[in-house]
Amino acid sequence: MASGDILVTVGPGVSLAQCSDGTDNDADGMTDYPADPGCQSAQDATESPNPALPAVHPTFKKDCERADT
Ligand SMILES: [Ca+2]
Ligand SMILES: [Ca+2]
């Protein structure tokens, strides 16, 4: 890396928020706030849901399979 290369300097201790960096950081097909539901604001540090949302309840699925037999 060239010594003159500087990435993004926002301020001391502040990095560019994933929800405003123009990249689909968590690869869910949606990029940045407000398109990505994981972003609570454009300043949200991550695109991942916070807290993570359980997609399917394991116990619920087990109940369905049991009802099927
Ligand atoms: Ca992003
Ligand atoms: Ca995303």
Question: How remote is the CA of residue 15 from the centroid of ligand 1, in Å?
Answer: 12
User: Each residue of 12-68: pLDDT tens digit?
Assistant: 555 689 999 999 999 999 999 999 999 999 999 999 985 655 666 666 666 666 666
Q: Look up the domain containing 56 and give its range.
A: 1-69
Which residues lie near ion ligand 1 (Cβ < 5 Å)?
Answer: 18, 21, 23, 25, 32
Question: How remote is the CA of residue 3 from the centroid of ligand 1, in Å?
Answer: 27
Number of domains comprising the chain: 1
DSSP states along 5-60: ------BTTB---GGGSSS-TT-SS--STTTSTT-SSTT-S-SS-SSPPPSS-HHH
